[in-house]
Amino acid sequence: MLLHESLENSSKQYPDKIAVVYQKERITYSELDRRSNAVAGYLTEKGFKKGERVALLLENSPEYISSFFGILKAGGVVVPLNTQMVDRELTVILSDCSPKFIIKKTGIEKNRDCPRFLGTVPIFSSDLAMIIYTSGTTGKPKGVMLSHANLNANADSIVKYLNLSASDRMMVILPFYYSYGTSLLTTHIKAGATLVLDNRFLYPNVILETMEREGVTAFAGVPSHYSILLRKSALRNYKLDKIRYVTQAGGAMALAMIKEFQNLFPQINFYVMYGQTEACARLTYLEPESLSKKMGSIGKAIPGVELDVLDEAGQKVNPGEIGEIVARGANIMLGYWNSPEETEKVLKKEGLWTGDLAKIDEDGFIYLVSRKKEMIKSGANRISPLEIEEVVCRMPGILECAAVGMPDEILGEAIKLCVVKNGVDMNERDVLLFCKQNLALYKLPKVVEFRDSLPKTSTGKIRRNELV
Amino acid sequence: MEPMETLSEADIKKSLKNFIKENFLLGNDSNLKDDDSFMGKGIVDSTGILEVVSFVEDAFNIKIDDEELLPENLDSINQLGNFIKKKLNK
Distance from CA of A208 to the nearest CA of B (A): 11
Q: How far is CA A314 from CA A308, A346, A348, A353, A368, in A?
A: 9, 13, 10, 10, 18
User: What residue of A is the nearest CA neighbor of B54?
Assistant: A232
The pLDDT of residue A112 is 64
User: What residue of A is the nearest CA neighbor of B73?
Assistant: A203
> Using one digit for the tens of pLDDT, what is the confidence trace for A68-98?
999 999 999 999 999 989 999 999 999 999 9
A441 touches chain B (CB under 8 A): yes
The pLDDT of residue B25 is 84
Q: How far is CA B87 from CA B15, B60, B66, B70, in A?
A: 16, 9, 14, 14
- The separation between the first and the last C-alpha atoms of chain B, rounded to the nearest angstrom, is 20
Weakest mean pLDDT among A273-277, A457-461, B10-14, B40-44: A457-461
The pLDDT of residue A109 is 65
Which residues on chain B are in Cβ contact (under 8 Å) with A202? 38-39, 44-46, 49, 71
Distance from CA of A439 to the nearest CA of B (A): 13
Bridge partners of A368, per DSSP, are: A358
Weakest mean pLDDT among A14-28, A239-253, B3-17: B3-17
The whole-angstrom separation of Cα A168 and Cα A188 is 8
Query: Using CA atoms in the order A202, A208, A211, A217, what is the torsion angle rounded to 10 degrees?
Result: 100
Residues in contact with A351: Cβ distance below 8 Å, sequence separation at least 6, in sequence order: A306, A308, A326, A327, A328, A332
- Average confidence score pLDDT of chain A: 93
A339 touches chain B (CB under 8 A): no
Q: Helix, strand, coil: what percent of chain A each, to 5?
A: 30, 25, 40
Interhelix angle A223-231/B46-60, nearest 10 degrees: 30
Tell me the residues of chain A between 173 and 202 that have a Cβ less than 8 Å away from chain B: 200-202
The pLDDT of residue A252 is 81
Give the number of other CB atoms < 10 A from CB of residue A440. 20
A379 touches chain B (CB under 8 A): yes
A43 pLDDT above the threshold of 90? yes
B79 pLDDT above the threshold of 90? yes
B→A contacts (Cβ < 8 Å), by residue, are 26-28, 38-39, 42, 44-47, 49-50, 65-67, 69-71, 74-75
Give the H/E segment covering residue A436: helix A428-438
> Using one digit for the tens of pLDDT, what is the confidence trace for A140-196?
899 999 999 999 999 999 999 999 999 999 999 999 999 999 999 999 999 999 999
Q: Which of A200, A232, A442 sits opposite B50 (nearest CB)?
A: A232
Bridge partners of A309, per DSSP, are: A325
Residues in contact with A290: Cβ distance below 8 Å, sequence separation at least 6, in sequence order: A297, A299, A365
Q: Which runs of E-coded beta strand occur in A298-389?
A: 300-301, 305-310, 323-329, 335-336, 347-348, 351-360, 366-371, 376-378, 381-383
Size of interface A-B (CB pairs under 8 A): 55
The pLDDT of residue A42 is 92
ipTM of the complex: 0.84
> Using one digit for the tens of pLDDT, what is the confidence trace for B17-71?
999 988 888 776 667 899 999 998 888 887 889 889 999 999 999 999 999 999 9
- Put simply, the answer to whether A205 touches B67 (Cβ < 8 Å) is yes
Phi-psi region of A310 (alpha: psi -120 to 50; beta: other; left: phi over 0): beta
User: Residue A229: which pLDDT band, with cuts at 50, 70 and 90?
Assistant: very high
Q: Which of A104, A126, A19 is nearest to A58 (CA)?
A: A104
The pLDDT of residue B29 is 63
> Using one digit for the tens of pLDDT, what is the confidence trace for A269-295?
999 999 999 999 999 999 999 999 999
The pLDDT of residue B1 is 52
Buried b (16+ CB within 10 A) or exposed e, A145-178: bbbbbbbbbbbbbbbebbebeeebbbbbbbbbbb
What is the mean pLDDT of the segment spanning A50-64?
A: 96
Residue A266: helix, strand or coil by DSSP? coil
Distance from CA of B45 to the nearest CA of A (A): 6
Q: What is the DSSP letter of A442?
A: G
The pLDDT of residue A115 is 62
Q: Which amino acid is at A28?
A: T
> Using one digit for the tens of pLDDT, what is the confidence trace for A309-334?
999 999 999 999 999 999 999 999 99
Which residues on chain A are in Cβ contact (under 8 Å) with B71? 200, 202-203, 206
Give percent of chain A above pLDDT 70.
97
The pLDDT of residue A393 is 87
A415 touches chain B (CB under 8 A): no
Task: Identify the residue with better confidence: A429 or A7.
Answer: A7
Q: Which amino acid is at A262?
A: Q
The pLDDT of residue B2 is 58
Regarding pTM above 0.80, the answer is: yes
Q: What is the DSSP letter of B4?
A: G
A201 pLDDT above the threshold of 60? yes
The whole-angstrom separation of Cα A34 and Cα A44 is 15
Q: Which of A204, A233, A429 sits opposite B26 (nearest CB)?
A: A429
Q: Which of B27, B46, B66 sits opposite A201 (nearest CB)?
A: B46
Any alpha helices (H) in A128-200, and if so which ranges? 148-161, 179-191
Give the number of other CB atoms < 10 A from CB of residue A98. 11
A136 pLDDT above the threshold of 60? yes
Contact A72, A78 (CB under 8 A): yes
The whole-angstrom separation of Cα A290 and Cα A206 is 32
- Put simply, the answer to whether A200 touches B50 (Cβ < 8 Å) is no
| CA–CA–CA angle A293, A275, A207 (5° rounding) | 85
